[in-house]
Amino acid sequence: MSIESPNSLWPPILTAAIGIVTTSLTLLFGWLRERSAKSRRLDAIDEATKKTQLIESWYRTRLSLAPDQAGAAKSALLRELDSALESVRDLAPPVVSPSSVLEQSRIAHLGKLRRWFLLYRPSRRRAWVPRAFFYTFALYPVALFAAFLSDPVGLQKDEWMGIAYLLIGDVALSLLFRWFARSLE
């Protein structure tokens, strides 16, 4: 049993660390984007509520001071309330379109193997780019296995470990691009 030098362990550890960091950053940015959109909606609702309360108190004060101008105050009140509603309506969460629901139901009826390997036409053209990377990284271990079968060579333990780390990184990248392709559908 040979003892491996510490220098030979750095490349696989570094590769694994890069894979973990990039996956974590992708998930973090997606979460932050959704969180910021939700907080913008909540801020807009809070501001519209405050604006409505201010308009209501202004309307009551104006009616108590000048009851003869109730028509003008009412039209100003309606304009302000409509503008407050529009500011909230602009930031409404996206509505799921019927076509995307139909697309999801079409995909749900496919077999598990076809769904997992993304063996169907995506609904959007932009989903093909990460799919190409997914297919490349998914087929790399098959090509590597075929190369070993056609030309078997005696590999040392550290070479096998390098191949194992390469395959682990390949699977991680494949899963990352699969997730990215699914998110673009």
Which stretch of 98-102, 103-107, 154-158, 176-180 has the lowest confidence by average pLDDT? 98-102
As a whole number, mean pLDDT of residues 105-126 equals 76
Q: How confident is the model at residue 69 (pLDDT cuts 50, 70, 90)?
A: confident
- Please state, in angstroms and as integers, the Cα–Cα distance from residue 183 to each residue in 22, 30, 41, 128, following that order: 16, 10, 22, 12
Per the domain annotation, does 18 fall within a domain? no
Q: Which two tokens stand for residue 181?
A: 């392709």
77 shares its domain with 116: no
Question: Cα–Cα distances in Å, from 103 out to 100, 124, 134, 183?
Answer: 5, 11, 21, 13
Per-residue model confidence (pLDDT) at position 5: 57
* Same domain assignment for residues 178 and 125: yes
> Does residue 143 lie in a domain region?
yes
Say if residue 139 is in the same domain as residue 77.
Answer: no
144 and 86 share a domain?
A: no
- Can you give the pLDDT at residue 157? 64
Q: What is the pLDDT of residue 110?
A: 76
pLDDT category of residue 111 using cuts at 50, 70 and 90: confident
pLDDT at 2 over 70: no
Give the model's pLDDT for residue 1.
Answer: 46
Residues 125, 169, single domain; the answer is yes
Residue type, position 160, single letter:
W
Enumerate residues 6+ apart whose C-beta is below 8 A from 69: 62
- The domain tally of the chain equals 2
Among 11-15, 85-89, 107-111, 125-129, top mean pLDDT goes to 125-129
Say if residue 95's pLDDT is above 70. Answer: no
Q: What is the pLDDT of residue 133?
A: 87
Residues 123-128: contacts with CB under 8 Å, at least 24 apart: 123/99, 123/185, 124/184, 124/185, 126/184, 127/181, 127/184, 127/185
Residue 137 · residue 177 · CB < 8 Å: yes
CA distance 136 to 182: 16
The closest of 168, 178, 166 to 132, measured between CA atoms, is 178
Q: State the pLDDT confidence band at 145, using cuts at 50, 70 and 90.
A: confident
- For residues 39 and 73, state if they share a domain: yes
In this structure, are residues 76 and 58 in contact, taking their beta carbons and an 8 Å threshold?
Answer: no
Range 105-134 average pLDDT: 79
Element holding 73 (H helix, E strand):
helix 70-89
Average pLDDT over residues 70-74: 75
Find all residues with CB under 8 Å of 157, minimum gap 6, and list them: 2
**Is 19 inside any structural domain?**
no
- What is the domain extent for residue 60? 31-94
Segment 123-140 mean pLDDT: 84
Q: What is the mean pLDDT of residues 115-135?
A: 82
Query: Mean pLDDT over residues 51-67, rounded?
Result: 79
